[in-house]
Amino acid sequence: MLKDLPQNKVEDVAIAVALEAENVESKVWYVYLINLKNQEIENALITSRGYGYKDGEEVKTSTLRHVFPKVEARSFALIEPIDEQTFGLNNEYWLSYYIKDQIFDKKFIFLPESIVESNFIRLPVLNKPGVMIR
């Protein structure tokens, strides 16, 4: 049955972790879905979870689910805030969405310690500093 599903390639869609604000005490981070396409995407479903090892022990975060009925062309949707304490874990975002009647899906994984200032870019559409996976 799996072989009967179309292999639609996800292009021009990204998940980004953006630095929203910072002060002496802390930094505020948010995760975004960025639609870089010239057409809207519909019924976007994102599951997010963190997993890995911290101090030698296995750690798993709760799995969260987010739904966006429509993300306009060349725009974004705020998925969730993210805590800096999870940056040492794998942070996984599994995205499924529709364009007309075709379904697309892709898994985006921010590896441990990949959300660091040396990897920052100016995020397209958001115009904020952060890390992005396309």
Q: What is the pLDDT of residues 56-73, one digit of tens each?
A: 999 999 999 999 999 999
**Is the pLDDT assigned to residue 25 strictly greater than 90?**
no
What architecture is the 2-133 domain classified under in CATH?
Sandwich (2.60)
In sequence order, what are the residues at sequence separation of 6 or more whose Cβ sits closer than 8 angstroms to the Cβ of residue 129? 18, 19, 120, 121, 122, 123
- Give me the residue spans of the domains in the chain: 2-133
List C-alpha distances in Å: 14 to 2, 35, 36, 133.
25, 7, 8, 6
**pLDDT beyond 90 at 80:** yes
Residue with tokens 């739904």: 67
